[in-house]
Chains A and B, each alone.
Chain A
Amino acid sequence: MHVPRVLLAGAAGLALVLSGCTGDASDGAADGNGADLTPEEEWFDQEEFDRQLAQRDIEPEGPEDEPWMQAIEPEWIDTSEWEFDDPGEATVCFSNASVSNPWRVTGFITMEQQVEALQEAGEIGDFQVSDASDDDNQQISDIQAFVDSGDCDAIIISPSTTATMTPAVETACESGVPVVVFDRGVNTDCAVTFIHPIGGYAYGADAAEFLVDSLEPGSRVLALRILPGVDSLEHRWAAAQTVFDDSDLEIIGYEFTDGDGAQIKDLVSQHLQRGAVDGIWMDAGDGAVAGLEAFEDAGQEYPVVSGEDELSFMRKWQEEELEAIAPVYSNFQWRTPVLAASMILQGEEVPEEWVLPQEAVTEETRDELLEVNSGMPSLHYARFGGEDLPGFPEAWEDR
């Protein structure tokens, strides 16, 4: 019985050593896992990429100081068939995918505040919410419950995933009430309007272009990604790959972090042990500060960094005078669906696809946004767009 034990331990050791060797070989050939800068086909659509990048420069229609009412190249459609006699009595139902991250929490508060404002103005009546906790099956049954109850005069849906939720959205459409979809899309155009910011390609490109412009050729860039397989995040990375591919930057590699500060800090520390890191690209701002702390603790100069309009990052950026950009996935989009629902119930025209502006925070716009959000918690998003709502700022401060 002694022999198998030794054999087992030996085999384990051998496997480790071998894995070390193969790692060596691939390192020599490609220096890490990020050298491949061709986006995966599944996540890259050249046409959509080009459209999003162009949309960044198009002047949106709508009031300048209310970006949540602006639309890029809208095609207005008639909604008179949905006009409701007394909108103040209309019940609006909202099927939410989840409030499982700070971005969604911030957005949902904004939505609730917008609802209150509309209710006071008598433009909508009751507002019913269901939360599916990121569970597709739960959301399908939530939507079915709304349809079965017959109480809803308009249904707003923030789908948890694209493909699985498509039939559920179709069910809602077939029930004969207007449907508004926002944030992630579905594979049907049966909704009256689909509301979303420009998109993930624009986000990833904003971040990558800033790094390319700010860093010397040959600088080493580390990419931090939350997790694979989520379309909005994959699009950001695909766009960054495309931009980096045309540049002279050296992409060390990418790491999946789960958005967990401890993991981010550990990973960045390890990369710093093995060589310089001049720039950090992130697919979302969660934990950006932890990544920067790794540089502090290693006694190294801060990198050029792309984060997000999350306040912890923006405050760090201001305090340490970093060279940084905060790409934005417009959080104020949470207001728009409620406004759209009320417009539809009043028979007003809405854009068929409502593309909201999505403007990265730069050094020029940073301080003003921090001023507006001065009392907000650190996991709040600067472009939340609720400054003119009655609950500002307490509703967002005391969450």
Chain B
Amino acid sequence: MSTTRPAAERTPRRNPLSMLSGGTATVALLLAVVFAVIATQNPSFFEGPPLMSFARMAAPLVLLAIGQYFVIVSGEFDLSVGSLVGAQVVIAARLIDGDPSRTLPVLALMLVFGLVVGLVNGLVTTVLKVPSIITTLGTMLILFGAVRYWTGGAPTGELSEAFRLAGRGGIEGVPFLGQLPYALIIAAAATAGAVWLMRSSYGRSLMATGDNDVAAAFSGVRVWRVRTTAFVLSGLMASVAAVLIGGFSGVTAQVGDGLEFTAITAVVLGGVVLGGGRGTVVAAVLGALTVEALFTLFTQLYLPATIQPTVQGLIIIAAVAYASRRGDLRLPERLRRRPGHPTERPLGTSRR
């Protein structure tokens, strides 16, 4: 890192990119290690069909991680996505009720519903100035309770086969892979879209907002709009994830439970710093794959699924601790870009 520093001072905008790619490399390495351990347990894992079934299982988490990434990188949280996924699947099952002709209208409704929930989250956070952890905690409880109330406590109805195609089906007869799941294609497209978006001017505004929203506002970013859009994107991603999850396994009462924390775990594992401003979307996606691979590994090792929350908790703490260790190195650098802060200036000067 120290070798890149002089260069960074000359072209400040390069600096974030170089340190972020470091985070991406870390999570990619971790993913490779987890995959390697899985391979020792289950050599057939890397034959086509098992790998595709892993991809199908991981796709919804990838989407949720992308959505969560937008929100976290802008300096906020979205705790409502798990509840939103659950609500979407339950609503879809009840409205479709096994009738294939209602599939498309209900899909459209789900997307709109996701966008509206995201918009409400965003506006409450930015306009009413409610901290997002509270806003989305509230949305999570509201959705959870409303769906319980609406269904009388447990879901009813049934999804149509057409609805389930995206989460369950795929393109048949692909050499080696057997079946190429639609879920994988959707997740890959979403990843590509997210990478493109982060390279656009919106992505730069989002990153700047998360890094320092005051500075971003001074430089002409409409912070409230950028953040609200991040929540809307998260709601959209949750809707698509709901289509995939509902398609994958049908409707059960527990669908969506705890997904928000799995998504946050994935994003944090990808080295995206809570509080915003740092991390790449590719790292978040790799984080999602790593979390899913870890869960797969636990199954291979016959660890009970009940230990998963514990592991998630350890990952969150370890990943943040690790990231902040890296942050120690850079903190003075970052502070030097904000002159005028009396307590920070001496530190920066002494480092020079």
Encoded as 1 (CB less than 8 Å from any B CB) or 0, chain A from 248 to 259 comes to: 000001011111
Q: How far is the CA of A312 from the CA of B155 in the complex (A)?
A: 12
Q: How far is the CB of B5 from chain A (nearest CB, A)?
A: 13
- Interface residue? A263 (CB, 8 A): yes
Is A105 touching B249 in the complex (CB atoms < 8 A)? no
- Interface residue? B141 (CB, 8 A): no
**Which one, B10-18, B192-200, B250-258, B272-280, is touching chain A?**
B250-258
**Which residues between 41 and 60 of chain B lie within 8 Å of chain A, taking CB atoms?**
41-42, 44-45, 49-50, 53, 57
- Considering residues B257, B297, B306, which has the most beta carbons from chain A within 10 angstroms of its beta carbon? B306
Encoded as 1 (CB less than 8 Å from any B CB) or 0, chain A from 1 to 13 comes to: 1101100110011
- Interface residue? B105 (CB, 8 A): no
Residues of A with C-beta under 8 A to B305: 255-258, 263, 267
- Interface residue? B158 (CB, 8 A): yes
- Interface residue? A228 (CB, 8 A): yes
- Interface residue? A104 (CB, 8 A): yes
- Interface residue? A273 (CB, 8 A): yes
Chain B binding surface SS class:
helix
Is A287 touching B252 in the complex (CB atoms < 8 A)? yes
Is B44 touching A273 in the complex (CB atoms < 8 A)? yes
Is A99 touching B153 in the complex (CB atoms < 8 A)? yes
Q: How far is the CA of A378 from the CA of B251 in the complex (A)?
A: 10
Is A227 touching B306 in the complex (CB atoms < 8 A)? yes
Partner of A273, one of B40, B45, B254: B45
Is A270 touching B296 in the complex (CB atoms < 8 A)? yes
Q: How far is the CB of A377 from chain B (nearest CB, A)?
A: 4
**Which residues between 76 and 118 of chain A lie within 8 Å of chain B, taking CB atoms?**
98-102, 104-105, 108-109
Is B37 touching A27 in the complex (CB atoms < 8 A)? no
Known: A290-B250, A399-B151. A16 touches B37 (CB 8 A): yes
Q: How far is the CB of B271 from chain A (nearest CB, A)?
A: 12
Is A255 touching B154 in the complex (CB atoms < 8 A)? no
Encoded as 1 (CB less than 8 Å from any A CB) or 0, chain B from 289 to 326 comes to: 00000001101111011100000000000100010011
Residues of A with C-beta under 8 A to B254: 258-261, 286
**Chain B, Cβ-Cβ closest to A266:** B57
Residues of B with C-beta under 8 A to A265: 248-249
Encoded as 1 (CB less than 8 Å from any A CB) or 0, chain B from 312 to 346 comes to: 00000010001001101100000000000000000
- Considering residues B154, B157, B299, B322, which has the most beta carbons from chain A within 10 angstroms of its beta carbon? B154
**Which one, B27-35, B72-80, B221-229, B232-240, is touching chain A?**
B27-35
Residues of B with C-beta under 8 A to A378: 156-158
- Interface residue? B152 (CB, 8 A): yes
Is B299 touching A8 in the complex (CB atoms < 8 A)? no
Known: A264-B249, A297-B168. A101 touches B154 (CB 8 A): yes
Partner of B153, one of A5, A23, A100, A298: A100
Is B325 touching A5 in the complex (CB atoms < 8 A)? yes
**Chain A, Cβ-Cβ closest to B170:** A297
Known: A17-B37, A262-B249, A266-B57. A256 touches B49 (CB 8 A): no
- Interface residue? B245 (CB, 8 A): yes
- Interface residue? A28 (CB, 8 A): no
**Which residues between 1 and 26 of chain B lie within 8 Å of chain A, taking CB atoms?**
1, 26
Known: A102-B253, A286-B253, A287-B252. A228 touches B152 (CB 8 A): no
Partner of A261, one of B41, B251, B296, B301: B251
Is B304 touching A33 in the complex (CB atoms < 8 A)? yes
Q: How far is the CB of B175 from chain A (nearest CB, A)?
A: 17
Is A102 touching B257 in the complex (CB atoms < 8 A)? no
- Interface residue? A391 (CB, 8 A): no
Is A5 touching B326 in the complex (CB atoms < 8 A)? yes
* Given A102-B154, A261-B250, A399-B151, 7 new contacts (CB under 8 A): A23-B301, A101-B253, A258-B257, A260-B249, A267-B299, A286-B252, A379-B154
Task: Enumerate chain B interface residues (CB-CB to A < 8 A).
Answer: 1, 26, 29-30, 33-34, 37, 40-42, 44-45, 49-50, 53, 57, 151-158, 168, 245, 248-255, 257, 296-297, 299-302, 304-306, 318, 322, 325-326, 328-329
Task: Enumerate chain A interface residues (CB-CB to B < 8 A).
Answer: 1-2, 4-5, 8-9, 12-13, 16-17, 19-20, 23-24, 26-27, 32-33, 98-102, 104-105, 108-109, 227-228, 253, 255-267, 269-270, 273-274, 286-287, 289-290, 293, 297-298, 312, 377-379, 399
Q: A-B pairs with the 4 shortest C-beta distances?
A: A261-B249, A99-B153, A23-B301, A102-B154
Interchain Cβ contacts under 8 Å between A and B, 22 examples: A4-B325, A9-B30, A12-B33, A17-B33, A19-B37, A19-B301, A23-B302, A24-B40, A253-B302, A258-B257, A261-B250, A261-B251, A267-B305, A274-B42, A287-B252, A293-B168, A293-B249, A298-B49, A377-B157, A378-B156, A378-B158, A379-B154
